[in-house]
C-alpha cells in the first residue's frame, strides 16, 4: 500500500500492444510515469492494421514523442483470432477519435524490439497483447531476455476468458507465449534471470472500470478524458453484456496493470510461481499452468504472478495520468 509518495524513477519501457481499450489506457499510464522508448503493435484484439492505426491515434491524442512500429500480423502457429465482440470492429469503439496525423515509423516491429533491447540498458518490455512479437524476437535472439530489466506482461491467470482456462493474450498465440515463459524458466539452459511479471486475470478482474470511476474520468478536463470516458462506456457495455448479472461492476481494465506493476509496484502483492504455457491440449491450449503446490519437488519459479492490486489507488494513478494530458 502507498505509505507516502515514494521517490519515483521513470523506468524505460517498450510497449508491445494490440489497442484495444485497455491497451490505450496502458499507453497513457506509460507516457505519464515512464520513458516510452517505443510502441510496437501486434495483431490481437483486431487485425494489425487496426491495432497500428489505434496506436498512432493514441500517440497523437497524448502528444507522445515516441516511434510506433508495426509487428506481426498473425500468430506463429494458431489461426488469427480477434476480439471485436469486446472492442468493436475498430478496436476502439465508443469515442470519436481524431485520425492520426503522424506517420508510422516502420513495419519492422520485431527488429525494432531486438535493436532497442541491444542498444538500451535497463529496458522493460511490456507486452499487453498476444506475445507473437516478443516470442519471435526471443526466438531470433535467445539471450534477449538477459538484455532487459524484465518483462511485465498482461496475460494468463488461474482461469480464462476465451475458454475455461485460457486468457485471450496467451490463447491467441500459445506457441509465442510458451517461448516467453520458457525463456525465464530456471530449468531452461541459459534462461534469463528476469523478472517476468504476469498481470493475469486473477489480478486484473480486481481492477474494474466501474460507473463511478467512469464518471471520475469524465470529470477530468480535456479531450483525452472525454474520449476515454466514451471508450469506457462502450468497453463496460460489451463486457457486462457477456457476463452473468452482478458478476462484474465494470469492464476489467487489464493492460495498465502491466505498466503500473513497474511504475507503482507498491500497489501490488505477488507470489513467485512456476508457470508454463499449454500449447497442445484440446481443451486447455493457451492455459497458463501455475504451480501452486506446497510440494518441495515443484519446479523453481520463473514468474512473479501478481495476486492483488489496491484498485482504488491504482485508479487514482490512472486518473492522475489522464489529467497530465488534459490538453
Residues of this chain, 107-166, that bind ligand RIB according to CB under 6 A = 128-129, 154, 161
- Whose Cβ is closer to Ca ion: residue 51's or residue 210's? 51
Of 43 and 192, nearer to Ca ion (C-beta) is: 43
User: Could you tell which of Ca ion, ligand RIB, none binds residue 279, using a CB distance below 5 to 8 A set by kind?
Assistant: none
Using alpha carbons, list the distances in angstroms from residue 170 to 178, 180, 219, 277: 9, 10, 35, 8
Name the grid cell of 89: 470492429
> d(Cα 279, Cα 240) in Å, to the nearest integer?
29
- Provide the minimum distance between the beta carbon of 26 and Ca ion in the complex, in angstroms, as a whole number: 8
173 near ligand RIB, rule: CB under 6 A = no
**Residues 140, 142, 145: CA angle, nearest 5 degrees:** 115
Cell 486475470 maps to which residue? 201
Q: How many residues bind ligand RIB (CB under 6 A)?
A: 16
Is-catalytic flag, 87?
no
Stretch binding Ca ion (CB under 5 A), from 83-91, 120-128, 195-203, 307-315: 120-128
Q: Per CB under 6 A, which of residues 59..118 are in contact with ligand RIB?
A: 83
d(CA 205, CA 248): 8
Torsion of CA 162, 167, 169, 173, to 10 degrees: -70
Which of these ranges, 17-25, 102-110, 277-285, 317-325, lies near ligand RIB under the rule CB under 6 A?
17-25
Question: Out of 254, 264, 270, 274, which one is annotated catalytic?
Answer: 254
Tell me the CA distances in angstroms from 228 to 61, 155, 161, 188, 280, one per residue in order: 11, 22, 23, 42, 38
- The yes or no reply on residue 254 touching ligand RIB (CB under 6 A) is yes
Catalytic residues: 254
Instruction: List residues binding ligand RIB (CB under 6 A).
Output: 18, 20, 22-23, 44-45, 83, 128-129, 154, 161, 167-169, 254-255
Amino acid at each position: 500500500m502507498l505509505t507516502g509518495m515514494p521517490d519515483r524513477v521513470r523506468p524505460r519501457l517498450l510497449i508491445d500492444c494490440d489497442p484495444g481499450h485497455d491497451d490505450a489506457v496502458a499507453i497513457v499510464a506509460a507516457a505519464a510515469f515512464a520513458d516510452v522508448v517505443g510502441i510496437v503493435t501486434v495483431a490481437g484484439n483486431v487485425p494489425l492494421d487496426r491495432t497500428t492505426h489505434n496506436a498512432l491515434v493514441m500517440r497523437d491524442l497524448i502528444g507522445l514523442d515516441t516511434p510506433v512500429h508495426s509487428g506481426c500480423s498473425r500468430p506463429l502457429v494458431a489461426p488469427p483470432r480477434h476480439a471485436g465482440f469486446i472492442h468493436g470492429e475498430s478496436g476502439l469503439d465508443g469515442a470519436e477519435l481524431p485520425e492520426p496525423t503522424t506517420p508510422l515509423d516502420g513495419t519492422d516491429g520485431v527488429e525494432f524490439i531486438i535493436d532497442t533491447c541491444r542498444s538500451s540498458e535497463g529496458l522493460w518490455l511490456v507486452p499487453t497483447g498476444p506475445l507473437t512479437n516478443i516470442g519471435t524476437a526471443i526466438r531470433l535472439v535467445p539471450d534477449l531476455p538477459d538484455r532487459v530489466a524484465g518483462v511485465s506482461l498482461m496475460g494468463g491467470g488461474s482461469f480464462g476468458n476465451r475458454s475455461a482456462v485460457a486468457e485471450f493474450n496467451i490463447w491467441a498465440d500459445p506457441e509465442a507465449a510458451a517461448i516467453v515463459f520458457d525463456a525465464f524458466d530456471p530449468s531452461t539452459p541459459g534462461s534469463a534471470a528476469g523478472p517476468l511479471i504476469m498481470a493475469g486475470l486473477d489480478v486484473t478482474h480486481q481492477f474494474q472500470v466501474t460507473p463511478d470511476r467512469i464518471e471520475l474520468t469524465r470529470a477530468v478536463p480535456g479531450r483525452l478524458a472525454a474520449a476515454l470516458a466514451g471508450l469506457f462506456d462502450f468497453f463496460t457495455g460489451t463486457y457486462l453484456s457477456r457476463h452473468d448479472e452482478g458478476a462484474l461492476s465494470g469492464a476489467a481494465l487489464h493492460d495498465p496493470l502491466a505498466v503500473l506493476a513497474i511504475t507503482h509496484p507498491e500497489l501490488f502483492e505477488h507470489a513467485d510461481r512456476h508457470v508454463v504455457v499449454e500449447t497442445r491440449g484440446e481443451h486447455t491450449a493457451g492455459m497458463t499452468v501455475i504451480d501452486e503446490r506446497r510440494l518441495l519437488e515443484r519446479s523453481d519459479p520463473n514468474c512473479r504472478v501478481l495476486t492483488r492490486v489496491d484498485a482504488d489507488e491504482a485508479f487514482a494513478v490512472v486518473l492522475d495520468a489522464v489529467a497530465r494530458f488534459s490538453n
